[in-house]
Amino acid sequence: MDYKITHGPAFALLEMDMAQGEEVQCESGAMVCMSATLSLRSSMGGGSGGGGGFLGRAVGALTRSAMGGESFFVTHITATDGPGYLALAPATPGDIHDAEVDAATPLIVQGGSFLASAPGVTVDPSWGGLRGMLGGEGLFMLRASGTGTLFMASFGAIFRRDLAPGERFVVDSGHMVAYQEGMAVQTRMVAGAGGFFQRMVTSATSGEGLVMEFTGPGPVWMQTRNPEAFSGWVRSLLPNLSGKSSGQ
């Protein structure tokens, strides 16, 4: 399929020209508009094959929704009655970026950043463990595997950094979007020197908190804005309503 990303990086839109028979799977609610020649159906979970039986798909979809930060249902859009136009967009302001996935290079994506993919790409929850929880990404992230194009969404613009073998690179956990599976990742306090108390104070007073340190080789995708920092700024502008009655 032919596609282009327009109106970025603040209000990015993914526009596709689909040939007859082509299909794309996307996050529920991502469709902005489409030609009447395209048809839409929903399925549970992010697998492209739809196997595993009803119970298996339901459990996978529930895990993907509750743990991976995505919706329970995935939307499949197919050019059934001829070629057509499709436009997709994420729920929040921000950017869209494409990345190629193949069997040798699955990607680990933060929950909420999956927008769409080719039907050959499978997106399932991936165990992030204590590292993901401490980094603010949650116990589960998303693992994109298979073969095809993956479209990721962000809060702010997306930019990519390719690390050389052995190169170490530090990313604030709130700015991480995705990285290639197999890279060494360590979650730690931003201050790397001094005792525990000194590092804790430095991390707290710098406003960075915990960071993720990657070791190459491999690509890392980041977003230019931190959703948690932005929500904290918005809360600081709201009036303090504590102590007032519900009527006020």
pLDDT tens sequence across 183-227? 999 888 765 545 444 445 444 444 456 789 999 999 999 999 888
Q: Which residues of 208-245 are buried (b: 16+ CB within 10 A; e: fewer)?
A: bbbbbebebebbbbbbebbbeeeeeeeeeeeeeeeeee
Q: What is the pLDDT of residues 51-65, one digit of tens each?
A: 444 444 444 444 444
Q: What is the topology classification, in CATH, of domain 2-236?
A: Double-stranded beta-helix (3.60.160)
Q: What is the pLDDT of residues 83-107, one digit of tens each?
A: 999 999 998 899 999 999 998 989 9
Q: Residue 122: which of 150, 91, 153, 89 has the closest Cα? A: 150
Structural tokens at position 159: 């930019």
Q: What is the pLDDT of residue 60?
A: 47
Is the pTM above the cut of 0.85? no
Q: For residue 37, count other CB atoms closer than 10 A to its CB.
A: 15
Q: For residue 147, count other CB atoms closer than 10 A to its CB.
A: 14
Q: Residue 210: which of 176, 246, 243 has the closest Cα? A: 176
